Amino acid sequence: MAKLKGRGVAAVNYPTGMNLGGDPSQALIHATTTGSFVVTLSSVDLGQGLKTVIAQIAAETLGIPYDSVMIDTADTDTGPHCMGTFASRGTHRIGNAVIMAAREAREVMLNVAATELEVDAADLVTDGKGRIHVNGAPDKGIGVLDVALAAHFKHGNTISGRGIFLKPKSTPVPETGEMDPDSCQAHACTIAEVEVDDETGVVRVLKLTNGYEVGRAMNPALAHQQIVGGAWMGISHALYETTEPYYPDRAHGPLDFSEYLMPGPADLAEMESVIIERPASNGPYGAKGIGEMTANSPIPAIANAIFDACGVRVTSLPITPEKVLRGLDALQAVNPV
């Protein structure tokens, strides 16, 4: 028996958003009497962290602390339209809508502050900690709380904003396929190291070294979650998963988490990932969608590493021990040792 080691590379790009019918999302923002801001959406958090990242984007644009932002989602009676959470569109589309809404609300907030401070609104800045002051003169300022109170009870102003992001519909030209389906592209490269058991065909992924280009990481820890979880799913797709283990034969479809194979906590690979950032010109603070892409590059990188290890090119997913072993047997038949 031998454990054959190999290394494989793959690089990919991934579109942010997918637009064949117009791809909008909206956001509404308003301040409470006490200077909290409510971002109202009908957007869905699947676990990727939308509620966190959107609050960060809103806080950044409003110039207030993250803690002062509340995300109110998702109720179609109150939340404005969102196309949905898919196509790596959430952070990009909703983030952009939130920035637009937050700018409008910020303008009102600064105007109220200017009135209270008897200065020109154009001279005001926010410190991100809950205060608004004259640029260069931190003492000449007012708290966001007081601005909100004044807006409500003195001036009769609503500190609010409306935002929408729309990628207009692109209809492909039937003859050539000319189209504009996406907003930007994120990128990834994986270098996989594997070990192949030459008697059983079992593949173990030893290590994935990943480079990810994400536009800008709104929250690096959450980007890291997507990267690690996505790369795990990549390993899972490469070696384990299917609802039809003998496709196109329909038999033996798994019905539970025992039969539906995915790597467990004892089957993990070492992972080393680096993020690089090339902000997207149309992304919120440059962010691109990365949630989907993270699963993609590990799959071919593993397939290529398996070939490197043992000379078996498996061209169908998942790469089961059986497929590898049949490949090894075929090599042995051609070239007996």
Partner 1 sequence: MLQAVVTPTSLGDLRKALKLAPKATLVAGGTLVMPIINEGAHGISTLVSLSKLGIDAVSFKKGIATIGAAAPIAELARHSELKFLSAVIDSIGSPTLRNMATVGGNLFAYGDLAVCLVALDATAIVVNAKSKRSAPVEEIIKKGVKAGELVTHVSFAIPKPGTFKYAKASRRALNSASIVTVAAIIPLVKGMVADCRIALGGVAAKPVRAKSVEKLLNAKLFDEKTVRAAAAAAAKEIAPFTDAYASAWYRARVTPVHICRALLGDAAGKS
Partner 2 sequence: MKGSVVSITLNGVERETLVAPGTTLLNLLREHQSLTGTRRGCDQGSCGSCTVLVDGKAKLACLIPVETIAGSRVETVENLALNNELHPLQQAFVEGFATQCGFCTSGMIMAAKGLLSVNPRPSRADVIRAISGNVCRCTGYESIVDAILAAAAGMGKPLKKSA
Partner 3 sequence: METIDTSFFTEERAGSFNTVGTSTERADARGHVTGRTQFYEDVSFPNTLHLKMVRSTKHHALIKKLDVAPAMKVPGVVRVLTWKDVPNNWYTILKLIGVGPDDEPVLAEDRVRFIGEQICAVLAETPQAAAEGAKRVKVVYEELPPVFDVEEAMTSKPFTNHGSNYYIYEGHNCRRIRFGDVETAFKQADHILECRYNSAPIEHAPTETTGCVVKPEGNGRYTIYSNTQALYFTLDNTALILGVQFNKLRMIGGTVGGGFGGKVDVIVEPIATLGAMLTNRPVKYAYSRAEEMQVSSPRAAERFYIKDGIMKDGRIFARKITLYVDAGAYCRHSTYGTTKAAAHMPGPYTIPNVHVDAYCVYTNRTPSSAMRGFGVTIADFALESQMDQIARLLKMDPIEFRLKNAYRDGDMKAHRKEVEGAALVEVLQAAAKQSGQKLSSEFLAMSSYGWGSANGKA
Binder to partner 3 among 30, 39, 213, 309 (CB under 8 A)? 213
Count of residues engaged in binding partner 3, rule: CB under 8 A: 130
Contacted by 24, from partner 2, partner 1, partner 3, none: CB < 5 to 8 Å by type? none
In this complex, which beta carbon is closest to partner 2, that of residue 233 or of residue 280? 233
Q: Which stretch binds partner 3 (CB under 8 A): 100-108, 110-118, 214-222, 329-337?
A: 214-222
The verdict on 311 binding partner 3 (CB under 8 A) reads: no
Amino acid at 235: I
Is residue 44 within 8 Å of residue 84, measured between CB atoms?
Answer: yes
Q: At a CB cut-off of 8 Å and minimum separation 6, what does 237 contact?
A: 295, 299, 317, 318
Q: Exactly one of 31, 109, 184, 205 binds partner 3 (CB under 8 A); which one?
A: 184
Q: Kindly give, in sequence order, each residue whose CB lies less than 8 Å from that of residue 86, ignoring residues fewer than 6 positions away.
A: none
Pick the closer one to partner 1 by CB: 67 or 259. 259
Q: How far is the CB of 262 from partner 1 (least distance, A)?
A: 8
Give, in order, the Cα–Cα distances in Å from 197 to each of 57, 112, 186, 332: 48, 70, 35, 15
- Angle subtended at Cα 165 by Cα 289 and Cα 125, rounded to the nearest 5 degrees: 95
Q: Does 172 bind partner 3 (CB under 8 A)?
A: yes
Letters for 42-71 (x = contact with partner 2 by CB under 8 A, - = none) are ----xxxx----------------------
Does position 233 bind partner 2 by CB under 8 A? yes
Contact between 280 and 263 (Cβ < 8 Å): no
Residue 224 makes contact with partner 2 by CB under 8 A: yes
Q: What is the DSSP code (8-state) at residue 171?
A: P
The alpha carbon dihedral of 162, 78, 56, 113 has a sign of positive
Picked from partner 3, partner 2, partner 1, none, the partner binding residue 281 (CB below 5 to 8 A depending on kind) is partner 3
- Among the listed residues 84, 130, 211, 254, the single contact to partner 1 using CB under 8 A: 254
103 in Cβ contact with 36 (< 8 Å): no
| One character per residue 269-308, x = contact with partner 2 (rule: CB under 8 A) | --x-------------------------------------
Residue 279 burial class via C-beta count within 10 angstroms: exposed 0-12, middle 13-18, buried 19 and up: middle
DSSP bridge partners of 40: 28, 72
- Tell me the per-residue interface mask from 16 to 55 with partner 3, x by CB under 8 A, - otherwise: --x-xxx------------------xxxxxxx-x-xx--x
Between β-strands 203-213 and 131-134, what pairing exists: parallel, antiparallel or unpaired?
A: unpaired
In the complex, least distance from residue 238 CB atom to partner 3, rounded to whole angstroms: 8
> Does residue 302 belong to the site contacting partner 1 (CB under 8 A)?
no
CB count in 10 Å sphere of residue 276? 11
Q: Does 91 bind partner 3 (CB under 8 A)?
A: no
Binding flag, residue 333, partner 1 (CB under 8 A): no
- How many residues contact partner 1, by CB under 8 A? 25
The Cα 192–Cα 8 span in angstroms is 5
| Three-state secondary structure call for residue 273 | strand
Contact 239, 303 (CB under 8 A): no
- Residues found near partner 2 in the complex (CB under 8 A): 46-49, 221-222, 224-225, 228-229, 231-233, 256-258, 262, 264-266, 268, 271
- Residues found near partner 1 in the complex (CB under 8 A): 1-2, 199-200, 240, 245-246, 251-254, 256, 258-261, 263-267, 320-322, 325
